[in-house]
Amino acid sequence: MPVKKKNLSSYSPKKIPDAKKMRFGIVVSEWNTDVTGALLEGAMETLVKHNAKAENIHVSWVPGSFELALGAQYYARETKVDAIICLGCVIQGETRHFEFISQAVAKGIMDVGLTYNVPVIFGVLTTDSMQQAVERSGGKHGNKGTEAAVTALSMVGLRDSLKK
């Protein structure tokens, strides 16, 4: 039964698969580092809480959210990770840059997942303001990094449950 979400981080821990044998790649954007660093913390804490081993979590930084999809593709092609988590923060500015980056990264991340048959998780905040981003990276609306990690665990669990 799905959990009714109160904030980005509400989930039922009992239903999350054990991550003891799972490997993860996390690609993080350097743009708005205060926020993306907090997303990374949320994701790492969550993976470790569900028994992922620190040596099985690989973190790579990319210059901005636009580069997340290619970073994810490198992981998908060159490594044997079970899931890739992309973390970024795109904040609405005065120009249309926001739209281009947000749409490109969402589509790019989805394409990598479907091409390589590996969960690639969209842990990217797209907000109107820094305040909204802070509230969603460990503030009153939870942490999207946590949500991204939970999604990664769930998708690897789903894949494993369907293996013959």
The catalytic site residues sit at 97
Least distance in angstroms from the C-beta of 83 to ligand DLZ: 21
Residue 157 touching ligand DLZ (CB under 6 A): no
Among 64, 111, 116, 132, binds ligand DLZ (CB under 6 A): 64
Nearer to ligand DLZ, 19 or 101 (CB): 101
32: left (phi over 0), alpha (psi -120 to 50) or beta: left
How far is residue 15's CA from residue 12's CA, in Å, rounded to a whole number? 6
**What would the x/- binding string for ligand DLZ be over residues 94 to 133, using CB under 6 A?**
---x---x--------------------------------
Q: Which of 18, 6, 23 is CA-nearest to residue 49?
A: 18
How far is residue 3's CA from residue 48's CA, in Å, rounded to a whole number? 22
Positions in the binding site for ligand DLZ (CB under 6 A)? 29, 31-32, 63-67, 88-91, 93, 97, 101
